[in-house]
Amino acid sequence: MRQVKIQSHYGQPIILEQCSQCGGIWFDESELFRAKQGESDKIELLDTEILRAPANIEGLARNCPRDKAQLFQFKDRYFPKGIILERCPSCKGVWLNRGAFTRFQQARKEFTRPKEKGSEDKILEEEIERILAMHQAGDATGTLERLGRFLSTPMDRNTLLPLEADQGQPEAENTANLAMNVFMLVLRALMLR
């Protein structure tokens, strides 16, 4: 593993561990969510040497580089398709195979891209309705409740963790930021349940 540096949403660097053989990336808890949009390109697409290397590593039982717990593949029908993510039940860190970080960031970008001019509000509304409908139709997993708690709690935009009461309310967001935040909260709620 070697260390690679990327930027978070608000400029603070995040140091990730990248496997120099397979190109997979280890994210400590919440680092995946804090990574600034487009940072995946810096450590995946431009790394041509790694892109040429074989990536046939699916199915291997991996252990957490922090605490050696066995990683489990994260599967959820609401999670963006084509992204294989393994996470540590102990420290909540996640492992992404080569290319999956890029796909994760692309999924986030797709979510926030307006379908047509002025339709951001409608998209956000539809997306929230869709998520709620899916959860109401499915078995009770607690995700919806958890998501509700996230959405009604003032969040630190950097870490997506609840703000302390004395830090006040977050600034008003434009719709694109709000959509992004909802997307990240949904993913986070799915992963933490």
Instruction: List contacts with Zn ion (CB under 5 A).
Output: 64, 66-67, 69, 88, 90-91
Give 68 or 75: the residue with its C-beta nearer to Zn ion: 68
In this structure, the number of other CB atoms found within 10 A of the CB of residue 102 comes to 18
Q: How many residues does the chain have?
A: 193
Give 19 or 179: the residue with its C-beta nearer to Zn ion: 19
Instruction: Report the nearest approach of Zn ion to the CB of residue 67 (Å).
Output: 4
Burial profile 61-81: b = 16 or more Cβ within 10 angstroms, e = fewer: ebebbeeeeebeeeeeeebbe
Q: Which of 116, 94, 121 is nearest to 182 (CA)?
A: 121
Instruction: Report the nearest approach of Zn ion to the CB of residue 171 (Å).
Output: 34
Give 66 or 157: the residue with its C-beta nearer to Zn ion: 66
Q: Which of 29, 100, 33, 31 is nearest to 67 (CA)?
A: 29
Instruction: Report the nearest approach of Zn ion to the CB of residue 87 (Å).
Output: 8
Label residue 161 exposed, middle or buried (CB < 10 Å: 0-12, 13-18, 19+): middle
Instruction: Report the nearest approach of Zn ion to the CB of residue 137 (Å).
Output: 33
Instruction: Report the nearest approach of Zn ion to the CB of residue 111 (Å).
Output: 28
Give 134 or 192: the residue with its C-beta nearer to Zn ion: 192
What are the start-end ranges of the E strands in 77-156?
85-87, 94-96
Give 90 or 167: the residue with its C-beta nearer to Zn ion: 90
Q: Which of 52, 96, 98 is nearest to 74 (CA)?
A: 96
Give 1 or 51: the residue with its C-beta nearer to Zn ion: 1
Instruction: Report the nearest approach of Zn ion to the CB of residue 95 (Å).
Output: 10
Distance of CA 58 to the CA centre of its chain: 20
